[in-house]
Amino acid sequence: MAPLHPAALLVCLTLVSLCQGGCVEVDSHTEAVLGHTFKITCISCKKRSETVAEAFTEWFFRGKDMEDMVKILHYDYERKLEVVDPRFEDLVVWNGTKKVPDLQDVSIFILNVTYEHAGEYLCTVNRTLNFGDVFFHNVLVNKTIHVTVVPKANRDMASIVSEIMMYVLIVVLTIWLVAEMVYCYKKIAAATEAAAQENASEYLAITSESKENCTGVQAVE
C-alpha cells in the first residue's frame, strides 16, 4: 500500500477535528434530594447536523401553589446565563452546550435543593436554522419535567435488582466451584486408586513369575 501523502493526512485530520459527537435525547431524573445538587436534563437534538443553526433557551417554573409558569432563566451563546427569578439566584449553574451557538444540551444544575424547588419545569429551545443565508426556519421545542423533592435518596428498582442478581451470581459460582473441586478430587482419587491397583497387580505378577522361575531351576538341579 502506498504511503499517505502529508497533505491528504492534514485534510483528514482537519475533517476529523470538525466532526461533532452524536446527540442523543434522554429523559431527566425527577427526584431531587433535599440539600443536595440536582441536575435537570433537557436535550433537543438538531435533526440534520450539517445545517447551520443558532439557538437560545428559556426555562420556566411553576411551584405547587402557583397557577402560571414563571420565567426563571435565559441562556444564549452571547449573553450566557441570566437568572431572572430571585428564588433561583446563585442556585442555578449552566451544564449545557457552551462552545457553539447551536445549543442542543440545555441542562442545568440546581444547588442546595429545597422543598420550594419542587414543581413543574418547562424547558424551551428556540432554534433558527440557516440555509445558506437564503432561507431561515425557526423551530421551537418545549419539554416539561416534573421534579419532586425527598428528604433522603431512594434507591431505584434497577439498582436493587442488580444487587440481588450479583449476590445470586456469587452464590451460584461458589456452588459451581465447590462442585468442580469435589468432582476433580474424586476423579484424581479414582485415578490414584486405579494406578495403585495396577502397580499391585504388576508386582504380584512379577512375584509369581519369579517363584515359577525358581521352582523350575530347583527341578532341573
- Could you report the per-residue pLDDT of 55-100, keeping only the tens digit for each? 999 999 999 888 999 999 999 999 999 999 998 999 999 999 998 9
pLDDT of residue 214: 57
Q: Which three cell numbers stand for residue 33?
A: 434530594
pLDDT of residue 35: 93
List the chain pLDDT tens, one digit each, 221 residues: 444 454 544 444 444 344 445 788 899 999 999 999 999 999 999 888 788 999 999 999 999 888 999 999 999 999 999 999 998 999 999 999 998 999 999 999 999 999 999 999 999 999 999 998 899 999 999 999 999 999 988 766 666 777 788 888 899 999 999 998 999 988 898 888 877 777 777 766 666 666 565 555 455 55
pLDDT of residue 33: 94
pLDDT of residue 189: 86
Q: Which residues 6+ apart lie within 8 Å of 66 measured at CB?
A: 119
pLDDT of residue 10: 44
CA dihedral 45, 47, 53, 57 (to 10 degrees): -30
pLDDT of residue 54: 94
The torsion region of residue 67 among left (phi > 0), alpha (psi -120 to 50) and beta comes to: alpha
Q: What is the pTM of this model?
A: 0.61
